[in-house]
Amino acid sequence: MDDTTTGGSRTKVRTENRFSTQQWGILLVLAAIQFTHILDFVIVMPLGDQLRRQLHINPQQFGMIVSAYGIAAMVTGILSSAIVDSFDRKRVLVVSFGCFVAATFYCGLAPGYEHLLAARSLTGMFGGLAASSVMAIIGDVFADRQRGKAIGVVTSSFAVASIVGLPIGLGLAIFFRQWNAPFLGIGALAVIVWVVAWVFLPSLTSHRTEVRHAPLSQFVKVVREPNHAWAFAMMLTTVLGTFTIVPFIAPYLQANCGRTAEDLPIIYSVAGMFTLVSLNIIGWATDRFGAKPLFLFCAIGAVFMTLMITHLPRVSLVGAVAATSCFMVLASGRSVPAQAMMLQASNPKLRGAFMNLNSAVTHFGTAIGPAITGSIVGEATEGGPLTHFGLAGGIAAMFGCAAVAFSFRLKRFSEPVEIASQPFPAEIKPLPE
């Protein structure tokens, strides 16, 4: 009797963990949106030399181009958080992603520095809103037991961008000998993704309530919730633990570790492949063992790898690949359970506003992280080895430790609201048993 009951319970859990066909379709569309958004964000960094030569800009101006994206995304996330939960999730995503596509084409057609700076601000503005909408939809469409795997699939877009997107994008820039070619290519791909999203994503309005709230009240409700504050603190320190050093890894490998520019595609492609596989494993393990244990494992491991890669001596190509792969697997891997923990901690009726503020916090981290390291790292000689990168690594490790500490203050949202008790919104059909 007990065995039969236990077996039936296990079957039910496995059924609840499985995605329906509709859920898989939604997830793939969200992953495609996230892929184009991330590729647009990361493609700027390896184009630095071409941008400086062809637009005649200095390193400080290039730094502004990189930071403009994150700053604009942060501001938009804060402003939109007050009203985003009043609208259909699909409409918010489709409109914001459509504007992102237009801004990406603007990047490709920008005639000079000022136009490119404005274009990067617009892509950050609408790309950040689209990214937060993706996570809010995951929170609505996927039950608690499914979110780790769903987030793992969407987060894999970063690895796919490293494996496929960056080599193709850089190849376009080299082939056409123009820095703007990758942006035009990304824009063309994004148009296709936008059409698919418009056609196939269902309307999502289950998060809306009958009572209308003033926009400012939604923002105040989110920021006044102590659990939300701990969640934002954990995410900010997690992002800073990564982006304080990531933009400088390639220059450090070349200037201090004896690697060449020709080695970089190999290093990042292999690291990206390991990350792609590991993110999906981490997503599955998050659902199987819980988000917090996986976060602690990845976050603590990432702290050790941060210290290792920022103190790396001259190494062979194999050594550089191994160190970079381990760092990327653990640093990106901690974001999967971290996002799952944040979704568990958020009030479902405020989830859109919460995720928009989370997106703002995340982009704030991506904007100030490189600035922190840029103010620390120097050159032994002009064009020579980098100095004080180990100190920057120590600061990044401290951010990582702070994220671990904040995770212990995070609690699952437990207020008995109607939407939280439903495993699926009304628009989504659960998998039949």
pLDDT of res. 383: 60
Residue 242 identity (one-letter amino acid): T
**Residue 217 has what pLDDT?**
66
Question: Which pLDDT score, from 0 to 100, does residue 344 have?
Answer: 83
Q: Would you tell me which CATH number, out of the four given (1.20.1250.20, 3.30.1490.20, 3.90.1150.10, 3.30.70.360), belongs to the domain 13-204+216-415?
A: 1.20.1250.20
Backbone angles phi, psi at 378, to 5 degrees: -130, -170
Of 72, 34, 33, 68, the C-alpha closest to 51 is 68
Element (H, E) at 388: none
Q: What is the mean pLDDT of each run of 10 residues along the chain (433 residues)?
A: 49 59 88 90 73 73 79 82 74 93 95 94 91 82 78 76 73 80 93 94 67 59 82 93 85 85 79 85 88 94 96 95 94 89 80 76 84 78 79 96 94 55 49 44
Residue ranges per domain, the chain? 13-204+216-415
Alpha carbon distance 196, 218 (integer Å): 31
pLDDT of residue 105: 97
> Which run of H or E residues covers position 387?
strand 386-387
pLDDT at 224: 79
What confidence score (pLDDT) does residue 280 get? 81
Q: How far apart are CA 45 and CA 65, in angstroms?
A: 10
Token pair, residue 185, equals 């290519």
Tokens matching residue 182: 């990758």
Q: Give CA–CA dist 62/17, Å, rounded.
A: 45
